[in-house]
Amino acid sequence: MATLTSDATQPLLAATGVRKVYRTGTVEVTALRDLDLTVLPGELVGVMGPSGSGKTTLLNCLSGLDDIDAGRVEVDGRDLFAMSDGERTEHRARAMGFVFQAFNLIPVFSAAENVELPLLLTGTAPREARARAVAMLERVGLGHRTTHRPSELSGGEQQRVTIARALVARPAVVWADEPTGNLDSTMAAQVMDLLHTLNRDEGQTIVLVTHDEAIGARLPRVIRMRDGRLVSDTRQPELQAAG
């Protein structure tokens, strides 16, 4: 389950020459232009840039949610686009976690049922899956909310459930696309604290899209995008997790 096997100097993710073109009718939008990026295990990477610069596209393409037009993406040593859709889906289940801006949870499942989903998908026994889901919910401070449906939770609580779900199967990398975009500042801070803690304490690799400069300022590594290109990649080693 724990796929965090590679040593810290081997990249967890290596993207080379990734190109993504959206075609709608006659219009073509090149959302990623020959993008190269490597992410090391245990990194917390922020992706920033103006709206429409290709942040979401980058996240979708590097995680294998979307197809690419050119280039190569390796995650945890495997070439994403050499796999079939089924294999890639399976790989996602084992090696990735996702947090989106909103609408993350399955509305008809309770918090615990949502969190245990990735475990069940990878064959964990139901009893164990439930126990781990509840433990994870406790970690994100929602031990008292396990049987609640998403509609019975606040936005911040919902996002924390999502983070619990993204992390419960100990994926190699967690992708988060503006996870605080729909939250007020207090809740946003809570969610960001949680992500920082997880990255620091457990070495969880996280790729996080945000357009919030305040959030960006606290991140150990930030890449900036414009027009589908990577325009800068800055590290602030003093913010990096201890190891």
Partner 1 sequence: MYPNLLLPLLGVLGAALLTLLLVAVRKPVVRRLALRQVARRRTEAALVVTGSVLGTAIIVGALVVGDTLNFSVRQEAYRTLGPVDERIVSTDPAAGRAIADRLQPLAADPDVDGVLTAEVAQAAAVNTHAAQPVAEPRVLAWQLDFDAAARFGAAGGPSGLAGPTPPPGQVVLNEPLARSLKTGVGRPVTLYLNGHAADFTVARVVPQQGLAGVGIGGRVNRNAFLPPGTLDAAGAGSTHAVTLVSNRGGVEAGERLTGPVTAGIRSALGPDAGRAAVDTPKHTVLAQADATGDALGALFLMIGSFSIIAGALLLVNIFVMLAEERKTQLGMLRAVGLKRAHLVGSFSIEGALYALAAALPGVAIGIAVGWGVAVAAAQIFRSWSVDGSGLDIAFAVTPTSLVNGAALGLVIALAAIAATSARISRFNVIAAVRDLPVESGRRPRRRLVAVCTALSLLCALAAVPALARSQAEQTYLLPALAVAFAVPAASRVMPRRAATSIAAALVLVWTLAASVIRPRVFDTPSMAVYVILGTLAAFSAVVLVSENQHAVLRPLRRLMNRPTQQGLATRLAAAYPLAKRFRTGSTMVMYTLIVLVLVLLTEISGIMNASIDQAAADATAGYTLRVDYNPQTAGPNPLTDLRTGQLARRIEAVAPLLQARGQATDPGHRTAEPLETAVVGVPDGATSGIAFRDRLPGLPDDKAVWNALATHPDYVVLDNFFGHTGGPSGKFYAPGDTLTLTDPVTGRAEPKTIAGVLTSGLAFYPGTGSSATVYPLVLGEQAVRTQFGPQAQTAAALVRTAPGTSPEDLAGRLQASHLSASMVATPIAADVHRLFAANTAFFRLMQGFLALGLLIGITGLGVVMVRAVRERRRTIGVLRALGCQAGTVERSFLWESGLVALEGTLLGAALGVLTTWLMYQKSSAFTGLDGGFPVEWAQIAVLAVLTLAASLLAAAGPARRAARIRPALAVRVSD
Ligand X SMILES: Nc1ncnc2c1ncn2[C@@H]1O[C@H](COP(=O)(O)OP(=O)(O)O)[C@@H](O)[C@H]1O
d(CA 240, CA 22): 35
d(CA 113, CA 119): 10
Smallest distance from partner 1 to CB 240, Å: 27
Size of the site for ligand X (CB under 6 A): 12
First and final CA of the chain: distance in angstroms? Answer: 21
55 vs 165, which CB is nearer to ligand X? 55
Find the helix or strand (DSSP H, E) in which 235 lies: strand 229-235
Per CB under 6 A, does 53 bind ligand X? yes
Per CB under 6 A, does 57 bind ligand X? yes
Smallest Cα–Cα separation from 16: which of 66, 61, 47, 60? 61
Smallest distance from Mg ion to CB 52, Å: 8
Per CB under 6 A, does 179 bind ligand X? no
What Cα–Cα distance (Å) separates residue 170 from each residue in 4, 126, 167, 199, 208? 8, 17, 5, 12, 17
**Residues near Mg ion, by CB under 5 A:** 56
Q: Which pair of structure tokens corresponds to residue 168?
A: 């419960």
Smallest distance from Mg ion to CB 96, Å: 18
Per CB under 6 A, does 24 bind ligand X? yes
Among 4, 11, 46, 55, binds ligand X (CB under 6 A): 55
Q: Tell me if 165 sits within 8 A of 118, measured CB to CB.
A: yes
User: Which range, of 48-56, 76-84, 97-105, 199-207, touches ligand X by CB under 6 A?
Assistant: 48-56
Q: Which does 31 bind (CB under 5 to 8 A by kind): ligand X, partner 1, Mg ion, none?
A: ligand X
211 vs 235, which CB is nearer to ligand X? 211
Smallest distance from Mg ion to CB 75, Å: 20
Find the helix or strand (DSSP H, E) in which 20 lies: strand 13-24
Per CB under 6 A, does 151 bind ligand X? no
